[in-house]
Structure 1
């Protein structure tokens, strides 16, 4: 566990970072031109709430509703969350996460949202699930 206190008004105990093997950006040689050279790989750690993770996963699942979320491997769930972080600002995900659980009140998508939360709980088990979700 890491304790973050230099940017917060109160100390916050953070869980250990989840490792990843995926590298976004200029790692795909098809995206490089002859003069391009990867100069560095920058690691970014983002502390995320369960709702932020679910919102990020939901964004990455758009257009993939034919997949059974409950059968996705943990690595794929994490990859999709990281993909959303690559495409969206963590601040936007923080904002979206604050209201994401309200989607559980929409009967037309409640099963999908519950499946997304189950996926997040499998991929990030150190996060404590909310009651009744």
Structure 2
């Protein structure tokens, strides 16, 4: 199975573990490291909505907590008409840890995908060097 298809399948599988009693909108994400390890995440909601966490951030935070810092590509899947786009908060977190050329596969359950680079997903993003380049 090619990396894109495998990542999408992993995202679909983890999506089934999402905790979404409020939105009923499960999302799955799968993140491939340069060492070949795949980290998955699903969205996890909370009655205090702002403390919920999206699938993309769960996968990224799991990888970071495990010491990973070099990523190859990511897939995000939801049951939407178009390939599901990450929210703004996820895009900002992704831009912190992903190279501008890293590929992100956006997908739905109808086999529709759109692959974009990090820079296409969030051009002109706020970066760590913006804190020191004053």
Normalised TM-score (structure 2): 0.29
Relative contact order, higher structure (CA 8 A, sep 6+): 1
**TM-score with structure 1 length normalisation?**
0.30
Larger Rg: 1
Higher strand share: 2
